[in-house]
Amino acid sequence: MGEMKKCLDKGYVILHDVMGSDLTVANAARVSYDKRSEEITDKDERLIKFLAREGHTSPFRHVSLQFEMYAPLMVARQHWKYIVGSDHTMDAWNESSRRYVTEEPTFYIPAANEWRSAPENSKQGSGKNVEAEIGSHYTKQLMRIIDEAEAQYNSAMGDGICAEQARLFLPAYGMYVRYYWTASLQSVAHFLNQRLAHDSQVEIQEYAKAVYELVESKFPISISQLVKK
Please give the positions annotated as active site.
195
Distance CA 115, CA 55 (A): 40
Give the other-Cβ count within 10 Å of 8's Cβ. 19
Torsion of CA 164, 170, 171, 173, to 10 degrees: -40
